[in-house]
Structure 1
Amino acid sequence: MKMLRHFLCLISMLILPNIANAGFISVTLGNDSPGFADGSTPTVFPEITGAQSGQDAPFDQGYGADGLFGGSFDQNWTFAYAAIATTITNATLTIGIADHDSSASGSQVGDFSLDGTGNALLSADLDTLFEAAGGATDGQYKVYTLSLDSSLFGELADGSATAALRLSGPGLVPDIFSGGFAETANNGAFLIYSTLTITFDDPPTGDVPEPGAFALLALSLLLLYGKKSAGKP
């Protein structure tokens, strides 16, 4: 029995190093530890400005403005990583964003794309998340994660992916006359961070022996085991 265990262990050592493992890439831009929680309503000063301090655009400040002037949030950001030569099996895109006002009427997602493609699909998916979890208050911070459709995996293989998000009105501002919130023509926001994760097949790390070699090895060890077992009283 001991010899059989040794045989199984040896076969495992020969086979397992050659099985392809899953590769994984995760790239984060901005500040994914801003100091305030998903679903909270951080203050612009000092919480949001503190979280964005020292970050690269568009994670460095608010863009667009609620109200009549300033326009809506309309920014893009690029993930850079090593090119992927094997099959991509899964990918997600996460954004942490504040004051995007998705509790206002209508849709606050004007357009969302990856490398200029997938607009209809990504916009619809993000809008669904906005409407389902956008809260019911002005200035809320939310984290949204989209599972990217396999039709977009080709955009990820070259080691560069640019996400572009344009929000639309109405936005929200406090109504100082009657309380509550009033809807505005434009919709500014603060993009806090974004993460792209990609899972892909890793190539085998070594040459897999021919099937005949495994068979000969297995037969030899089994014969050896049989002889030792036969010699026992």
Structure 2
Amino acid sequence: MIKLSRVSTESIEKILQEAQHFADGKTSKIKGDVFAANLFFENSTRTKTSFEVAEKKLGLQVIDFEAEKSSIAKGETMLDTIKTLEAIGVEVAVIRHSEKRYYDELLDAKLSVVNAGDGAGSHPTQAILDALTIIQEFGKIEGLKIGIVGDVKHSRVANSDAGLFRRMGAKVYFSGPEFWFDEGMLVNGTYMQFDDLVKEVDVLMLLRIQHERHERTFN
């Protein structure tokens, strides 16, 4: 689960169905010891805690990896860290990193990598969660008009959500200050002025200002 473009629409639909089963109260425990490490190189409350709770509900043994206290702080590469975790017996690595496409060097890793956010690149699990929320409210995504508003250019959530919603049959619209918009997003939707957009859409998503990525861009 690195980037949704690498996952078939059929597989995503199965994940959404299974997620709804869990939301309805289904429980499941993985047999045997399966170790998961959460490697968060950016601050996180909701995503990190959500992964930890989900892992424990599934019966995984969770390793609390602290990047600032690991050998990465001494210069070890991400790849060497992942290889070390593999050798120790970790089978799942959930990773959030400020670098876009940090995972490129990890594609040959034997353990399963779950991308919990890569810079302004993508946030696949958040997109699946957002899709589930919309389905719970409307019963579908196909045919809906969905607006994504705010700091679109620097938002990994906007990238993943727009691509997924379009694949599932929604019409996607963007709005916000033009200097916070990337024309590359037009492959997944249409840019509109905000006053026009709010009259058009069924669902309105508001993005926060990505201050931390602005600092990285302008410094």
Q: Normalising by the residue count of structure 1, what TM-score does the alignment of the two structures yield? A: 0.23
Larger helix share, 1 or 2: 2
Larger strand share, 1 or 2: 1
Point out the structure with max Rg over C-alpha: 1
- Greater relative CO (CA pairs within 8 A, separation 6+): 1
